[in-house]
Amino acid sequence: MKMPKLPHQINEYHGKVRDVYYLDNELLVMIASDRISAFDVILPSPIPFKGQVLNQIAAYMLAATKDICPNWLLDCPAPNVAIGKKCTPFKIEMVVRGNLVGHAWRTYQAGGRKLCGVTLPEGMNENDYFPTPIITPSTKASEGHDEDISKEEIIAQGLASAADWTVLEKYALALFQRGKEIAAHRGLILVDTKYEFGKIGDTIYLMDEIHTPDSSRYFYADGFEERQSKKEKQKQLSKEFVREWLIANNFMGKEGQTVPAMSAEWIDTISKRYIELYEQVIGEKFIPQQLSEEETYKVVCASLEKLS
């Protein structure tokens, strides 16, 4: 969906998953599309209702964490649309990890014992809990791949001041703890996630989505310890199964690799997994909603008028 020009619109940005429209009154309109990306590449087929799932989970989680830190969100006038405050973003992602999985596990398995300046304990198995959650930041690339970066490098490169880093670290760990508590009530384990922050004046705001299947990884709590003791694969709800499918089909976003074709059945499976996570995390039945471009434009304009 490409929106007609909005009132007061001065710019727009089309990312891997989201389309963002910037307004001259310090607001922005963010549309969560049905596009799906992995390894920083947009896959060839959209996933039905994925945008709605992401937008509604993010809105739920932002409301559930607004006592921890201020966030950007003001309104969600349509299933896949969010309107909020325009912040100056930190060009880093605060990745918080509670368990040794994904990129951290691949690094560990290859013999690495340091990730983003953080020393990883010896003797860990895949999916084990870290003694305490760790923060392994990455750069926020406007194009190409995000890169691992340490706290020391962030401060040295001026991506955040030492004082701002202290706040970012505090917020990220507190948000992760709240996310774990919410997940536990629903029979899930929040394994890892990422947060993005920005500033308005001297105030740091939480931006973008949080605790969604695109930004987070969840395990089912039931049977976790037993599966771990047997070194069995954990049952999870996240986008990792898409990454695993791509890896199995010889694609990791590297130069010269071709994105594998996605069958209708596989697209339907991905859509159902996203909806499953919504229902598991939120605890409510997912109600698919599809507004036309014209209907979306009208409700967005009406919301903007109220907010102005």
29-85 residue pLDDT tens: 999 999 999 888 899 999 999 999 999 999 999 999 999 999 999 999 999 999 999
Average pLDDT, stretch 266-283? 92
- Confirm whether 256 is domain-assigned: no
Examine the domain organization and report whether 203 and 225 are in the same domain: yes
Examine the domain organization and report whether 124 and 218 are in the same domain: yes
What pLDDT does 110 receive?
Answer: 97
Mean pLDDT: which of 9-18, 134-143, 150-159, 289-298 is highest? 150-159
Residue 21: beta bridge partners? Answer: 12, 29
Structural domain boundaries, residue 215: 89-242
The pair phi, psi for residue 164, each rounded to 5°, is -65, -40
Examine the domain organization and report whether 82 and 203 are in the same domain: no
pTM of the model: 0.91
- Confirm whether 46 is domain-assigned: yes
Examine the domain organization and report whether 180 and 289 are in the same domain: no
Question: Does residue 133 surpass a pLDDT of 80?
Answer: yes
Examine the domain organization and report whether 190 and 54 are in the same domain: no
What is the tens place of the pLDDT at every residue in 180-239?
999 999 999 999 999 999 999 999 999 999 999 889 999 999 999 999 999 999 998 878
Question: Does residue 145 surpass a pLDDT of 70?
Answer: no
CATH code, 152: 3.30.470.20
What is the tens place of the pLDDT at every residue in 102-130?
999 999 999 999 999 999 999 999 999 99
Contact present, 30 and 82 (Cβ < 8 Å): yes
Question: Does residue 144 surpass a pLDDT of 80?
Answer: no
Examine the domain organization and report whether 39 and 144 are in the same domain: no
Q: Which amino acid is at 117?
A: G
Question: Does residue 143 surpass a pLDDT of 60?
Answer: no
Q: How many domains does the chain have?
A: 2
What pLDDT does 241 receive?
Answer: 86
- Confirm whether 247 is domain-assigned: no
- Confirm whether 226 is domain-assigned: yes
> What does pLDDT average to over the chain?
94
Residue 237: beta bridge partners? Answer: 218
Average pLDDT, stretch 279-290? 93
- Confirm whether 3 is domain-assigned: no
What pLDDT does 3 receive?
Answer: 80
Contact present, 190 and 178 (Cβ < 8 Å): no
DSSP annotation of 71 reads B
Average pLDDT, stretch 249-257? 91
**What is the pairing mode between strands 188-200 and 203-207?**
antiparallel
Contact present, 38 and 259 (Cβ < 8 Å): no
DSSP 87-103: -EE-SEEEEEEEES-HH
Question: Does residue 142 surpass a pLDDT of 80?
Answer: no
Contact present, 82 and 73 (Cβ < 8 Å): yes
- Confirm whether 197 is domain-assigned: yes
Examine the domain organization and report whether 22 and 138 are in the same domain: no
CA-to-CA distance for 42 and 18, rounded, in angstroms? Answer: 11
Examine the domain organization and report whether 79 and 101 are in the same domain: no
Question: Does residue 163 surpass a pLDDT of 80?
Answer: yes
What pLDDT does 243 receive?
Answer: 87
Examine the domain organization and report whether 225 and 96 are in the same domain: yes
| Alpha-carbon distances, residue 246 vs 10, 207, 242, 297, 302 (angstroms) | 38, 29, 6, 35, 41
- Confirm whether 181 is domain-assigned: yes
Question: Does residue 283 surpass a pLDDT of 60?
Answer: yes
Place of tokens 């599809």: 290
Examine the domain organization and report whether 64 and 95 are in the same domain: no
Examine the domain organization and report whether 135 and 216 are in the same domain: yes
Examine the domain organization and report whether 37 and 58 are in the same domain: yes
Domain final residue pick, 194, 210, 242: 242
What pLDDT does 1 receive?
Answer: 64
Question: Where do the DSSP E strands lie in the chain?
Answer: 9-14, 18-23, 27-32, 37-38, 41-42, 73-78, 81-85, 88-89, 92-99, 114-115, 118-119, 129-135, 138-139, 188-200, 203-207, 216-220, 236-238
- Confirm whether 139 is domain-assigned: yes
What pLDDT does 141 receive?
Answer: 67
CATH code, 83: 3.30.200.20
Question: Does residue 152 surpass a pLDDT of 60?
Answer: yes
